[in-house]
Amino acid sequence: MQSRSERFAAFRRALKDKGLKSTAQRDAIAQTFFATTRHMSIDDLYQEVRKANPRVGYATVYRTIKLLKDCELADERHFADGQTRYENADSEEDHHDHLICDKCEKIVEFNDQRLELLQEEIATNLGFVLARHRMELYGICRECREGAGGGRRRPER
């Protein structure tokens, strides 16, 4: 796993390589993004960034997250709720998948080597060389089941 500062340095370097400028806004957005482990929506990120630097507009968050995507430092994910969310990109060895509670929308990350191997095998059998995959499991988490309808529901968007 790359550290926060390594990611930030990579971002700065990528900007320079592309002939783009470093700005206070881009720095604040990137730092904020790298500092979190959550799956953030644009709005989450915007709210968070403004705590550090209120001089940041919504559009710049969009523009910057797009840069991070291009640099492969951010992964964009489309979950079943339709909200686009972003997370820090995995390095190869650090891949994980998602298990999502249908009720409280909690997202649990997991990694299972057997799953990775099995996928590799399936792809190979069908003549493919596997590049990547995306897997999401949906169900109901223990808390929501035991809480007898008590699972905290996230507020409607």
**Binding residues vs a second copy (CB under 8 A):** 76, 78-80, 82, 84, 99, 101-102, 108, 110, 112, 114-115, 118-119, 122-123, 126-143, 145
Q: Which letter does DSSP use for residue 21 in this model?
A: P
C-alpha–C-alpha distance, residues 22 and 157, integer Å: 33
Using the minimum distance from each CB to a second copy, give the nearer residue, 28 or 141: 141
Residue in 30, 40, 56, 74 binding DNA, rule: CB under 7 A: 56
The entry of a second copy, DNA, none near residue 23 (CB within 5 to 8 angstroms by kind) is DNA
SS3 label, residue 26 = helix
**Applying CB under 7 A, does 99 fall inside the site for DNA?**
no
Residue in 63, 95, 152, 154 binding DNA, rule: CB under 7 A: 63
Using the minimum distance from each CB to DNA, give the nearer residue, 17 or 92: 17
In the complex, what is the shortest distance from the CB of residue 117 to a second copy, in angstroms, rounded to a whole number? 10
**Applying CB under 7 A, does 132 fall inside the site for DNA?**
no
C-alpha–C-alpha distance, residues 30 and 118, integer Å: 35
In the complex, what is the shortest distance from the CB of residue 131 to a second copy, in angstroms, rounded to a whole number? 5
Contact 72/88 with Cβ under 8 angstroms? no
Handedness of CA 155, 111, 129, 70 (dihedral sign): positive
Q: Which residue has the tokens 């996928």?
A: 119
Instruction: With residue 145 as reference, give the H or E element that holds it.
Output: helix 142-146
Residues in a beta bridge with 76: 86
Q: Residues interacting with DNA, by CB under 7 A? A: 15, 20-26, 41-43, 55-60, 62-64, 66, 82-84, 157
